Amino acid sequence: MSGTAEKSKFVFSARWIPEKGDAGKAFLSAKYWVTNDLGIGFDYRPLTDSISATATYRLISEDPCGWRPAVILGTSQDDFSDGDDEVESRAYFVTLSKAFPEHKFMGITPAPYVGAVWIDKLNEVRPLAGLSLSHKEASLMIQYSGTDTHLTLSRRLNDHLSVSAIYWGMKYPGLGMRFKF
CATH classification of the domain holding 168: 2.40.160
What's the structural domain count of the chain? 1
Eight-class DSSP state of 31: E
Contact 13, 164 (CB under 8 A): no
Contact 135, 129 (CB under 8 A): no
Cβ neighbours for 70, distance < 8 A, ≥ 6 positions apart: 2, 3, 4, 58, 60, 61, 62, 95, 96, 97, 98
**33 located within any domain:** yes
pLDDT over 90 at 82, yes or no: no
Contact 47, 25 (CB under 8 A): yes
**149 located within any domain:** yes
The DSSP string of 100-134 is: PPPPTTTT-EEEEEEEEEEEGGGTEEEEEEEEEEE
pTM of the model as a whole: 0.88
Cα separation, 66 vs 176, whole angstroms:
33
Per-chain mean pLDDT for the chain: 92
pLDDT over 80 at 2, yes or no: no
State residue 76's pLDDT score: 95
Strand partners, 34: none
State residue 65's pLDDT score: 84
**1 located within any domain:** no
Of the candidates 19, 37, 10, 12, the one whose C-alpha atom is nearest the C-alpha of residue 167 is 19
**63 located within any domain:** yes
pLDDT, tens only, 93-121: 999 999 988 777 788 999 999 999 999 99
Give me the count of residues in the chain.
181
3-state secondary structure of 45: strand
pLDDT over 60 at 1, yes or no: no
Q: Containing domain of residue 59, as a range?
A: 10-180
**134 located within any domain:** yes
Cα separation, 51 vs 117, whole angstroms:
21
